[in-house]
Amino acid sequence: MGAGKPSKQHGDSLVLGIETSCDETAAAVVGRDAAGRGRILSNIVRSQWEKHRAYGGVVPEIAARAHVECLDAIIGEAMAAAGVDWDDLDGVAATAGPGLVGGLIVGLMTAKAIALARGIPLIAVNHLEAHALTVGLTDGIAPPYLLLLVSGGHTQLQLVLGVGRYERLGTTIDDALGEAFDKTAKLLGLGMPGGPAVEKAAAAGDASRFALPRPMIGRSEPHFSFAGLKTAVRQQAQALVPLSTQDVADLCAAFEAAVTDVVVDRTRCAVKMTRERYDSPAWRTLVLAGGVAANMRIKAGLTALAAAEGCQIFVPPPALCTDNGAMIAWAGLKHLAEGRTDPLTLPARARWPLDPDAVPAVGSGRLGVKV
């Protein structure tokens, strides 16, 4: 154990968390004390974007191979940074889905090997649940609460009722918001990942120059749609070819303003539904999670909404909004505290809905399929 490093404290439960669901290879050690408070001892994340940049998006085979190449080193770095030994661990948690199945298998098989070799429990974590529960680690927030999850692969409004207990209120019927950001960035020749690239360009733009649509605004169910907005951006861009730097900035600003209006309106709908139809106190606490939660304009819009509706809003720090091992370890600790562990035979799952009973959104083209 390294000198001067934080070590396991009396009464702590410690879990190693492993995240390999997409293009970040991550590992972390997180502790949970007897009162249920979390403590991050280490959180190591290695991005693969340089490997995927030439392709304009994540290539699953490249992602899986990159996880294989560096995961052992990332885990070793996380253990060393935490200042703990293998014997200090009370469990190992790994993302088992949803995500790119090749990457999921790499992380889950590594966790199984550690669990078997060290004789400690395995906890298979739902990646979406890890995002949903992160505010318990960062802010001590306990369910029930209303969750807006916005990431590269998912845009959902969920009632978080407890660990393993979720009720979906709204979802996207086409693209996820993060995917819409990435495709807009690619269309306009910006860098990847798309969210930060579009946000940076938008800062110098005039959002009023282009009249872009606000899909789904005013609908009675809090679902999302971004495909039409993405198409409108492409049509505006094609009409301006060749694009100037200012054209790109103005398109980004207009796109960001449109998605903010949509997200705020759809979240307002979910707050109203939670308060009136469900008669649940969950509406009083709004949690924003996922990589797109780092967008400052969206965060500001939702903060204003929370103030207007009389609820509190909580957003984890940016480093814990994007994919990371600490959220996986924390979700593992929450399940471990309730006596839930998993067999070494458990498979990776490319699809794993938080609310398996949710009816597919009308118009999604995904009847019978839930992600």
Determine the Cα angle at 169 with ends 163 and 175, to 5°.
Answer: 105
Mean predicted confidence (pLDDT) in 94-106: 96
User: Residue 18: its pLDDT value, please?
Assistant: 98
pLDDT-derived band at 165, boundaries 50, 70, 90:
very high
The answer to whether 66 and 48 are in contact (CB under 8 A) is: yes
**In the chain, what are the domains?**
13-134+322-337 (3.30.420.40), 143-315 (3.30.420.40)
Task: Specify the higher pLDDT residue, 139 or 52.
Answer: 139
Does the structure show a pLDDT above 90 at 337?
Answer: yes
With a CB cutoff of 8 Å and minimum separation 6, the contacts of 170 are 156, 157, 221, 222, 223, 224, 266, 269, 270, 361
Q: End-to-end distance of the chain based on CA atoms, in angstroms? A: 41
User: Residue 98: its pLDDT value, please?
Assistant: 95
The answer to whether 42 and 81 are in contact (CB under 8 A) is: yes
How confident is the model over 235-248, as pLDDT tens digits?
999 999 999 999 99
Sign of the Cα pseudo-torsion (348, 353, 355, 359, in order)? negative
Mean pLDDT, the chain, as a whole number? Answer: 92
How confident is the model over 116-136, as pLDDT tens digits?
999 999 999 999 999 999 999
Q: Which of 317, 194, 305, 312 is nearest to 256 (CA)?
A: 194
Mean predicted confidence (pLDDT) in 89-98: 98
User: Residue 369: its pLDDT value, please?
Assistant: 36
CA distances from 352 to 9, 100, 360 (A): 34, 12, 14
Percent of the chain with pLDDT over 90: 83
Does the structure show a pLDDT above 60 at 364?
Answer: no
Distance of CA 110 to the CA centre of its chain: 22
285 three-state secondary structure: strand
